[in-house]
Amino acid sequence: MSARYLVRFDDICPTMDWRAWSRLEPVLQAHGVKPIMAVVPDNRDPHLVAGEAVPDFWARVRAWQAQGWTIALHGHQHLYTTREAGLVGINRRSEFAGLPETTQRDKLQQALAVFAREGVRADAWVAPAHAFDAVTLKLLLEAGVDVVSDGFYRRPLRHLGALWVPQQLWRFRPMPAGLWTVCYHCNGFGDAQVERFAGDIERYASRIVSLAEACAAPRIGDHNGLDAAFAAAWRAALRLKRLRAAA
Ligand SMILES: [Zn+2]
């Protein structure tokens, strides 16, 4: 089987870069691509303020969900309060990992209450900075959110009671068989990035699936030693890349 791809946009909130988004959305629509939209329920992170808040934000989110796009819960306020890397283990900053269960429950309940108030279903979980722990996962499962878009695996798998749909890439590139999620942060996207995005979507369109299609595989296996080894190697490669970039 050849490689399949999923597209994900993070940091979706009322003050995101709508100018950039207005150039990206038509590309997705033209190719029938149904991305994962990681929506921050109550953004307080100044880094995610790219302009004025749009008044009809939640109507836009509902419209995406109505056309089969995946709406993921992207944390609560997108504020990092701990130095824990959590289960995925790539960034030492988190809104959840390492916090007491009562605090995490409170944050998740508030986050989900915003979605409920706005008539939006949480189809999946996307942790800010990939950082969440076993407690977060347990609370998500209790709240009925059992799909996680995260993990450096090659395939969707079952782990700790949830269905993990891996996220490993930040731009399209040819990959071997497996499911690869390409994650975008579109704030500040200029001409070059928009053109590259459009070209990549056009080139890869026939191999891009929705989250529902990725989860509909005939058999989704349990997390095993090979998956753990792949994730460890991927994490090490990412760390090396960051070190080189910083040098
Ligand atoms: Zn984020």
CATH of the domain at 84: 3.20.20.370
Tell me the CA–centroid distance for residue 128 and ligand 1, in Å: 4
**Is 22 buried (19+), middle (13-18) or exposed (0-12) by CB count in 10 A?**
exposed
The number of folded domains in the chain is 1
pLDDT recorded at residue 216: 85
Tell me the CA–centroid distance for residue 218 and ligand 1, in Å: 31
- Rounded to whole angstroms, how far apart are CA atoms 134 and 156? 18
Tell me the CA–centroid distance for residue 75 and ligand 1, in Å: 8
pLDDT recorded at residue 3: 95
pLDDT digits over 52-95, tens only?
Answer: 999 999 999 999 999 999 999 999 999 988 988 888 888 888 88
Rounded alpha-carbon distances, angstroms, from residue 188 to 31, 144, 183, 193, 215: 23, 34, 15, 9, 32
Tell me the CA–centroid distance for residue 154 and ligand 1, in Å: 22
Average pLDDT score over the chain = 94
Tell me the CA–centroid distance for residue 129 and ligand 1, in Å: 6
Q: Which two tokens stand for residue 154?
A: 């090659």
Tell me the CA–centroid distance for residue 11 and ligand 1, in Å: 5
Tell me the CA–centroid distance for residue 77 and ligand 1, in Å: 10
The whole domain housing 202 covers: 3-246
Question: What are residue 147's phi and psi, to 5 degrees?
Answer: -115, 130
pLDDT digits over 16-34, tens only?
Answer: 999 999 999 999 999 999 9
Tell me the CA–centroid distance for residue 244 and ligand 1, in Å: 23
Residues whose beta carbons lie less than 5 angstroms from ion ligand 1: 10-11, 128
